[in-house]
Amino acid sequence: MFSIYFICLIMSKKLFVGNIAWSASEDDLHNLFSQHGEVEDLVILKDKFTNRSKGFGFVTFINDEDASKAISELNGYNLNGRDLVVNEAKPPRQRNHY
């Protein structure tokens, strides 16, 4: 008799979140997005000199279905006076270093 083990891999999905108000914190975004599923990672990008928000960030969900649900329900959602832009993140472009 032999046993077969199946490993179920759940692919995470990274979302781009744009038009974030400067007053919004990572906690604000986490509270909002975690209502739609388990958030694996979340970051708002900041200027390295001023430490001020650049107005966009990324949210990674553990489950693809939760990410898709968040896109459909939160794209256009008004957070702190700004309508969020939420869509699937694209891989970073390769930069030419001369």
- The predicted-structure confidence for 77-96, as pLDDT tens digits, reads as follows 999 999 999 999 998 888 88
Average pLDDT over residues 16-22: 97
Task: Please name the residue that has the structure tokens 């990672």.
Answer: 41
Q: How many whole angstroms separate alpha carbon 55 and alpha carbon 13?
A: 20
SS3 of 27, please?
helix
What pairs with residue 16 in β-bridges? 58, 87
**E strand or H helix at 28:** helix 26-33
* CA–CA distance, 91 with 53 (Å, rounded to integer): 21
Over residues 21-46, mean pLDDT: 97
Percent of residues, the chain, with pLDDT higher than 90: 80
3-class DSSP assignment, residue 16: strand
Q: What CATH number belongs to 13-88?
A: 3.30.70.330
> Taking the domains of the chain in order of start, what are their residue ranges?
13-88
Burial level of 68, CB count in 10 A (0-12/13-18/19+)? middle
Burial group, residue 11, by CB count within 10 angstroms (0-12, 13-18, 19+): exposed
